[in-house]
Amino acid sequence: MNQSEHNKRQLVVIGNGMVGHRFLENLIDGGGLDKFNVVVFGEEPRAAYDRVHLSEFFSGKSADDLSVVKEGFYQQAGIELVLNRRIQQINRAEKTVIDTEGKVTPYDELVLATGSYPFVPPVPGHDRKNCFVYRTIEDLEALQACAAHCKVGTVIGGGLLGLEAAKALKDLGLETHVVEFAPRLMAVQVDDGGGRMLRRKIEQLGVSIHTSKNTQQIVDGEQAVHQMQFADGEQLETDLILFSAGIRPRDELARDSDIEIGERGGIVIDNQCRTSDRAIYAIGECALWQGKIFGLVAPGYQMAQVVADQLNETAQNEFAGADMSTKLKLMGVDVASIGDAHGQTKGALSYQFVDEEKEVYKRLVVSKSRKKLLGAVLIGDSDDYGSLLQMMLNDIRLPAEPAQLILPATNGEAPKGLGVAALPETAQICSCFNVSKGDLCQSVASGCQDLASLKADTSAGTGCGGCSALVKQVLDHELEQLGVEVKKDICEHFPHSRQELYHLIRVGEIKSFAEALNAHGGGHGCDICKPTIGSILASTWNDYVLDRNHAHLQDTNDYYLGNIQKDGTYSVVPRVPGGEITPDKLIVIGEVARDFNLYTKVTGGQRIDLFGARVHELPDIWKRLVDAGFETGHAYGKSMRTVKSCVGSTWCRYGVLDSVGMAITLETRYRGVRGPHKIKLAVSGCTRECAEAQSKDFGVIATEKGWNLYVCGNGGMKPRHGDLFATELNDEELIRTIDRTMMFYIRTGDRLQRTSVWMENLEGGLEYLREVILEDSLGLCEQLDEDMARLIANYECEWKRTIEDPEQLKRFRHFVNSDATDDNVVFVSERKQIRPALDEEKQQLIAIA
């Protein structure tokens, strides 16, 4: 050791989780390695990894993927990292720590980043085999190994971690149950209304929820490994139990060393994160500040920065508590909680918005004066989270009618919410790294003009990720103020808009997500870019969507080639081109519906939908339909759905052209074509418009002089009549015009953008579209023709391909290791057909069974 090394102070860090590692990064950034020799102890066999996204381990991410440590970090910094070793004693008098191997390490300053441990209720039987916690990668590996031999798994705990754990069990192919002591899920974060909506959405994903359940003991099961016995006399049989009933601070080292501990646990710290021993600091979930434990990563990062500043003798930051608002996606469900979500503040008023069709619940809690936002709950749609959070944190005055902040847009107008322009410079955008709006603005002004460079410069959005949308809004606003064109990057992993990615994939002949990521992106991808790239690949090459390179990009509907319904079953929708069907095919559909006991309905798109198919039944159902000549109707995809028609000149005395024949031609031509969103067409045989063509993306109406084409109409929440695009077209001209317009939309539409919004956003609107398609002003028409020809040539029925592939059929099972079915799906009879049982009906029928 040279003289300068000898003069350094000795810093020991106990704990190498996310917060402990963040402390080291902050220490290095502030020049701390000039003052300290650093030794870090970690109990686990690997360096710090991302616990926030731990469940992604079951979606294919490895331990290396989850690591938060840059390659060579400890070696380059000269930090000694000791893994797989626990500190068992602190000798405060001698300023040393002793590890489990008996080695003594001296310290001048000591940082406790020991985190927390999962709380396991002391229920008799809690230590039986097949009982797990959900905390480390080793826990997950053990869980995965056990699940391979189980059918049913149960999570005890319905909070944030519990629902994450439930997703893990579901991903492992188990029938999944969640048992919660409180009367609702996420009792700390959401109110009763939010809890009901959250429960409804999660139960639709096939997870059974049991609230108000007090587990008394766990004993041998009759049909499974365990039987959980509840205080109300009910029982639940399960093969595997996962405890996720909260966390407790790891404070035993401090407790044994006579450092002050809170009455209910936790190492007491002051505003500088010092413990009762001035040489010892505590950060993260082991620390107790003013009687509070902060169980989110962002407050831990703030503590890490405070201690690093103290040791670096730089800015004298203080820890002053942290906002516990949170936004996340649980099992695909958007959930956000802000401030006083329960309205417990004296005199508080609340506003609620419920959309049961879209399964959205929002609650706004405001002060008695209606001038200050106190809290909010958002279930199913959390887009307003960033704006509402900033209103609360910065005491921004509410509009005269606060309810409009959570109401949907009407008459084409955007909701009257808060724009980033109204935020003060001091507004904290990123709580993980304490980044203000002013910090972001300064970074943009200094040259960071894309999201990746802005994140790299400020670290905003690189922690829990909850502020990413707001960071992007600040970036866009500042760029517009500077007169810079704002790019519409789809996410942080691809610095490109959807339109740009389509071009890059087509021109570069990219055939997989991995190729796209390597060539034009970075990181591992996310829930935004994966399905977007998957859609673009399908729209460009029309390959089989369940190919091993594409299957992981699909959402649940595409993954199982069927629309999932509210009870976890699926719909079966065979294609009926133009609505024309033979009696023989009608009989086949009827026989399938009868034999599999499916609910049968004729739809507005002139198809016959069959509801109530369990996942294991789908291949058998589709084999019978395919054998009878049916194809998939693509009701599950962002693709061409249907072409509706009237009977036209064939039967109707008013019809002037064969609308059914043209509808069949169009539906057969465009089947399987995928785009930014679903696409619907209709053909009417005369101007009486019985097929309602003007409300479709492409509407065709017959006249005595040929076909009139309407474009960019749609139904839905915001109905829009299509615009008359071209008149008096013959059959060939009509098809060519639709080909080109559809392909131009596929090329230039934004992610999940309907044709109506797409055209409204085109500079020049309808007239510009006419110039491009009818006058070939961009010289693109020949390319558009070729692109459509390729899609048509590459079409194959996805269900026909699937039932011929034994490997693909393996996915259509309730459990990966068993042929058992889901007993939680319960139907009742109504109007001589089945329907999903209501909650109270289901409980009664299951109890009888």
Largest CA distance in the chain: 104
* Contact of 642 with 678, CB cutoff 8 Å: no
DSSP-based helix, strand, coil % in the chain, nearest 5: 35, 20, 45
Q: Which residue, chain included where needed, has tokens 């319960």?
A: 826
Sign of the C-alpha dihedral computed for residues 457, 463, 465 and 469 taken in this order:
negative
CA dist., res. 464 & res. 466, Å (int): 6
Residue 514 neighbours by CB distance under 10 Å: 12
Tell whether 712 is in a known binding site.
no
* Contact of 42 with 15, CB cutoff 8 Å: yes
Q: Which amino acid is at 390?
A: Q
The vertex-218 CA angle with 212 and 221, nearest 5°, equals: 110
Q: Which residue, chain included where needed, has tokens 């291949």?
A: 619
CA dist., res. 647 & res. 662, Å (int): 11
Q: Which amino acid is at 536?
A: I
Residues pairing with 249 in the sheet: 116
* Contact of 96 with 102, CB cutoff 8 Å: no
CA dist., res. 402 & res. 224, Å (int): 52
Cα–Cα nearest to 489, from 479, 499, 477: 499
The CA distances from residue 615 to 166, 176, 635, 812, in Å, are 19, 15, 16, 6
Letter string b/e over residues 304-319, b meaning 16 or more CB atoms within 10 A of that residue's CB: bbbbbbbbbeeeebeb
Cα–Cα nearest to 163, from 109, 116, 199: 199
Residues pairing with 363 in the sheet: 352, 377
CA dist., res. 80 & res. 39, Å (int): 5
CA atoms within 13 Å, Cβ hemisphere of 492: 22
**148: enclosing H helix or E strand:** none
Cα–Cα nearest to 311, from 464, 108, 511: 108
* Contact of 633 with 642, CB cutoff 8 Å: yes
* Contact of 287 with 266, CB cutoff 8 Å: yes
CA 360 to chain centre: 15
Tell whether 690 is in a known binding site.
yes
Tell whether 686 is in a known binding site.
yes
Q: What burial class does residue 490 get, using C-beta atoms within 10 Å of its C-beta: 0-12 exposed, 13-18 middle, 19+ buried?
A: buried
- Distance between start and end Cα atoms, the chain: 75
Task: Say what the alpha-carbon torsion angle 28, 33, 37, 42 is, to the nearest 10 degrees.
Answer: 10
Q: Which two tokens stand for residue 344?
A: 């417990």
Q: Which two tokens stand for residue 98?
A: 């002793």
Between 498-507 and 513-520, two packed helices, what is the crossing angle to 10 degrees?
100
Q: What are phi and psi of 643, to 5 degrees?
A: -125, 105
Q: Which amino acid is at 251?
A: D
Which residue positions form the known binding site for siroheme?
Answer: 690
Which residue positions form the known binding site for [4Fe-4S] cluster?
Answer: 646, 652, 686, 690
Which residue positions form the known binding site?
Answer: 646, 652, 686, 690
